[in-house]
């Protein structure tokens, strides 16, 4: 039986033909109010269970027919374009995420930021812009938040007013509601590309150069311990995902994340994800718990989506005890800042470790720090690649191998600059050669510039 014929028993109209539309409906009711009313009637008066047995094209046809019927009953006069738009938005309410569904289908949008129900911003090509889309009210936004987090077994309420979750495509979701969010629910979606980016894409976007890309690929193959540093939206996770693609297919990889988003291409991958506390406040599984457990899973490589707490100590211990080739990201503005943040995280664990011993552990565990930065024009650049050399007295020694030298800004606001070698040959260059990675003699020449 067709969906449009499956009106429930409490359908409030008779079998008579619907009244003809008049020109008064559109004047009396705003488009958002009309959509809300039509959506409510669909839920109340139709058998939505019938949708489960239909394909998307059939659903669109059937819902379109029911919406046409309701529009005539509501005496709303809409032109064909407005009807088409209304049907699309009602479908998004029924099967998608309401007003933000079109943004999820737009590959040029990387972030969707809902500041309460009234304001929806998106990031496109690295720059924020306000959209004309909006939710009906805060309750409508809360309904969409509940729809997202219920899919991954998370919850949000007054007792637990913050939540991290993910969409089926791997996009990260964060929601925070009153009383912590003063003006109303806040929803932030950090999108992940449907088709994962490759290293060539970063070269095309001028995030780095082909020579630097080959160098980084060689570092991964040679099993260097690498940490990617950067601010919010700097492309750390994207770069981590791309670099992980150079791990040989015959190695066992264990990934550890707060919200699973890495898109590994290898056949032998074990994906682990943290778990928040239950409603009784029990059952929490932290990244530190997962790092410790991963050591018993015979990993060749351990990849931590982002190091942010007590797991830093266990991660560094793993890097120092035979688990070479590990990868992670960290929030920091410079390579030096990233080491300071790691020290702070270790101190937060309560580990009674002398400063000198802690820094020696850091210097011996890490080989390379990659700094990723989002510039003022919205572009992302690898602005520094630094080697962790060792200890000099009480200080961890870093040396830059490649840097991005900023030259200024053109009349269109585009950042001008060039990549350059510092003239320092890294100590691990011999490890690359022993691993069969070809290192050109002039790659690190101080006279070498990469435009």
Regarding the domain delimited by 101-190, which CATH topology (the fold level of the hierarchy) does it fall under? Beta-Lactamase (3.30.450)
Phi, psi for 38 (deg, rounded to 5)? -65, -45
Fold match between domain 101-190 and domain 199-450: no
Tell me: pLDDT of 372 over 50: yes
Cis peptide before 179 (omega within 30 of 0): yes
In the chain, the N- to C-terminal Cα span, in Å, equals: 64
Burial 396-409 (b: 16+ CB within 10 A, else e): bebebbbbbeeeee
Q: What is the CA radius of gyration of the chain?
A: 27
Closest CA to 303 of 240, 233, 366: 240
Q: How far is CA 420 from CA 10, 57, 217, 287, 447, in A?
A: 72, 53, 18, 37, 8
Stretch 257-262: mean pLDDT:
81
According to the 3-state scheme, what is the secondary structure of 133-148? CCCCCHHHHHHHHHHH
The structure tokens listed for 215 are 């160098």
What span, in angstroms and rounded, lies between the C-alpha atoms of 140 and 125?
29
| Helix/strand/coil for 428 | coil
Residues 6+ apart with CB under 8 A from 62: 2, 3, 4, 54
Would you say residue 4 has pLDDT above 60? no
Question: Rounded to whole angstroms, how far apart are CA atoms 74 and 20?
Answer: 10
Name the burial class of residue 357, with classes exposed (0-12), middle (13-18) and buried (19+) by CB atoms within 10 angstroms of its CB.
exposed
Q: Worst-scoring range by mean pLDDT, 24-28, 222-226, 284-288?
A: 24-28
Give me the percent of the chain exceeding a pLDDT of 90: 41
Q: What is d(CA 270, CA 264) in angstroms, rounded to the nearest whole number?
A: 10
Q: Which residues pair with 270 in a beta bridge?
A: 254
51 has a pLDDT exceeding 70: no
Mean pLDDT of 310-318: 90
pTM of the predicted structure, to 2 decimals:
0.76
pLDDT computed for residue 389 by the predictor: 94
| Strands 253-257 and 301-304, sheet pairing | parallel
Give per-residue pLDDT as tens, 261-270. 788 888 899 9
What integer is the mean pLDDT of 61-68?
Answer: 72
Q: How far apart are CA 167 and CA 145, in angstroms?
A: 11
Model confidence at 41, in pLDDT bands (50, 70, 90)?
low
pLDDT tens across 340-371, in order?
Answer: 999 999 988 877 888 888 999 999 999 999 99
Q: How many degrees, rounded to 5, is the angle at CA 169 between CA 168 and CA 175?
A: 65
Candidate from 251-265, 271-285, 401-415 with smallest mean pLDDT: 271-285
Residue 255 is encoded by which pair of tokens? 């990934």
pLDDT score at 369: 97
Non-local (6+) Cβ contacts of 86 within 8 A are 31, 34, 35, 38, 67, 71, 78
The pLDDT of residue 9 is above 60: no
Pair of tokens at residue 108: 């040029």
SS3 68: helix
- Residue 56 pLDDT grade (very low, low, confident, very high; cuts 50, 70, 90): low
Question: Is the model more confident about 28 or about 55?
Answer: 55
Taking each helix axis as running N to C, give the angle between helix 80-95 and helix 31-45, from 0 to 180 degrees, rounded to the nearest 10. 50
Torsion of CA 348, 189, 202, 440, to 10 degrees: 20
For 294, residues 6+ apart whose C-beta sits below 8 A from its C-beta are 254, 256, 270, 272, 302, 318
The answer regarding whether domain 199-450 maps to CATH 3.20.20.150 reads no
Helix (H) or strand (E) holding 25: helix 25-28
Q: Give residue limits of the domains in the chain.
A: 3-95, 101-190, 199-450
């Amino acid at each position: 039986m067709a969906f449009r014929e499956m009106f429930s028993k409490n359908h409030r109209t008779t079998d008579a033909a619907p009244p003809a539309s008049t020109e008064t409906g559109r004047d009396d009711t705003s488009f958002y109010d009309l959509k809300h009313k039509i959506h409510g009637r669909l839920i109340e008066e139709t058998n939505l269970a019938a949708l489960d047995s239909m394909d998307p094209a059939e659903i669109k046809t059937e819902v379109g027919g029911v919406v046409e019927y309701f529009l005539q009953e509501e005496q709303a006069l809409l032109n064909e374009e407005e009807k088409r738009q209304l049907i699309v938005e009602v479908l998004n309410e029924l099967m998608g995420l309401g007003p933000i569904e079109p943004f999820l289908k737009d590959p040029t949008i990387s972030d969707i930021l809902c500041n309460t129900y009234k304001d929806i911003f998106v990031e496109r090509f690295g720059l924020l812009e306000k959209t004309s889309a909006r939710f009906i009210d805060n309750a409508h936004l809360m309904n969409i938040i509940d729809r997202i987090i219920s899919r991954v077994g998370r919850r949000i309420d007054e007792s637990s007013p913050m939540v991290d979750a993910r969409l089926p495509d791997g996009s990260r979701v964060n929601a925070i509601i009153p009383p912590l969010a003063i003006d109303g629910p806040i929803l932030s979606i950090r999108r992940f590309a449907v088709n994962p980016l490759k290293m060539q894409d970063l070269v095309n976007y001028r995030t780095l150069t082909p020579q630097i890309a080959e160098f980084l690929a060689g570092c991964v193959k040679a099993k260097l311990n690498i940490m990617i540093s950067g601010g919010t939206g700097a492309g750390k996770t994207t770069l981590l995902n791309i670099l992980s693609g150079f791990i040989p297919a015959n190695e066992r990889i264990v990934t550890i994340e707060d919200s699973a988003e890495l898109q590994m291409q290898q056949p032998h991958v074990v994906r682990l994800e943290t778990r928040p506390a239950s409603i009784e406040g029990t059952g929490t599984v932290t990244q530190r718990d997962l790092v410790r457990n991963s050591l018993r899973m015979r990993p060749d490589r351990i990849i931590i989506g982002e190091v942010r707490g007590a797991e830093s100590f266990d991660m560094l211990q793993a890097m120092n005890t035979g688990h070479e080739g590990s990868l992670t990201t960290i929030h920091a503005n410079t390579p030096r800042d990233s080491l300071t943040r790691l020290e702070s995280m270790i101190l937060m664990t309560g580990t009674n470790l002398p400063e000198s011993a802690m820094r020696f552990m850091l210097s011996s565990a890490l080989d390379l720090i990659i700094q990723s930065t989002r510039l003022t024009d919205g572009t992302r650049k690898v602005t520094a690649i630094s080697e962790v050399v060792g200890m000099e007295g009480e200080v961890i020694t870093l040396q830059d191998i490649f840097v991005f030298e900023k030259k200024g800004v053109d009349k269109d606001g585009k950042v001008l600059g060039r990549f350059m070698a510092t003239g320092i040959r890294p100590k691990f260059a011999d490890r690359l050669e022993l691993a069969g990675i070809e290192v050109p003699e002039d790659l690190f020449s101080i006279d070498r510039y990469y435009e």
